Structure 1
Amino acid sequence: MSDDQIVTGQVQTRRALLLGAGAVGATVVLAACGTDNSTDDSTGPAAPPASGEAAEPNTGADVLTKTGEVPVGGGLIFAAKDVVVTQPSQGEFKAFGAICTHQNCPVTNVDGGTINCSCHGSKFSITDGSVKSGPATRPLPAKEVKVDGENITLA
C-alpha cells in the first residue's frame, strides 16, 4: 500500500464522520421542530420560567399563561404568539407585541421595568409599551388581554 492510499483512506473516513455528524445534527434539529405537545397533557403544566425569559407554558390552546406566573414589575415573552405579557403592579396585566419597532427583532427579555431588545438595545415600558431608550422611536403595539380567574388569554 502506498502513502497516497493511506491518506485517501483517512480523508474518506473524515468525510464520512463529518457527513454522519451533520446528518445527526440535522435529525436532532428536525426532531425538535417537529415536537407537538398540544395533544399530550400527560406531562402536566410546564414549570414557571425564570422572570422575564421567553415562556411557552403548556396551559391550553387559548390560555397564554397563569396570573401567578407573571412576575410583578416584570413580564413574560410568548414568541410563538408574538406577545409580551407584563404585570406593572399587582393584579394589573398588560400585553404588547413581541417584535421591536426598530428593526423587527424579537424582544428578548423583561427586566428592570422594561421590555428589552438585545439586537440594538431598545427598551420599552412594561406599563404602556412606550420607548424608554432607543434606537427605537415607536412604542410596542398594545394587545388586549383578558384575565379569567387565573388564566390570561388574548382578548
Structure 2
Amino acid sequence: MPAVLDLWKKTSALPLGDRIFSFAFSQKAPYFATIRPRFTVVEPNRAELVIRKRRGVHNHIKTVHAIALCNGLEAAMGALAESTIPRDKRWIPKGMEVAYTAKADSDITCIAETDPEQWTSGDPDLPVRVRGVRADGTVVVEGVIRLWVTPKS
C-alpha cells in the first residue's frame, strides 16, 4: 500500500485523525500549510480536502483567493497521485488549467479524481480532474492538472 494511503488509513481511524494526517501531509510540501487543508477523503483515484474561508486565504473582496484554490487543488491531486500510482512509477505535475466559475465565498471542498485505467494505460500524460465546490454545492473552480507519469529508473 502506498505510504500516503497507509498513513491516511492509520490516522483517520483516530480521534482528530484527519487533522493529524493533514498536518503531516502539509509538512511534506510546506507550501500546502498556507491553506491549512483538512483532508476528508484519501483513496485511490479520489482525494478531497477543505479550505476554510478565513482571513489568511482572502483576496481583496474577502473571498478565497484564486491561488489558494489552486494550492488546494494541487494538494488534493498530490494525495490522490501518491495513493494511486503503481509502485514502479513516479509522477510530476507538468501543468494546470483552471477556470474560475463563481465566487469562493464559503469554505471550499477541493476534489481530485482519476479513473483506474489512466494509471495503467502506458500514456505518460495523465490528466487529473479537479474542482473546488462551495458549501452550497456551487463549483467555483474546475480544471485539469496534468501529470507526467514514467517508470522509476
Normalising by structure 2, we get a TM-score of 0.28
Instruction: Pick the structure with greater CA Rg.
Output: 1
Higher relative contact order (CA 8 A, sep 6+): 2
Larger helix fraction of residues? 2
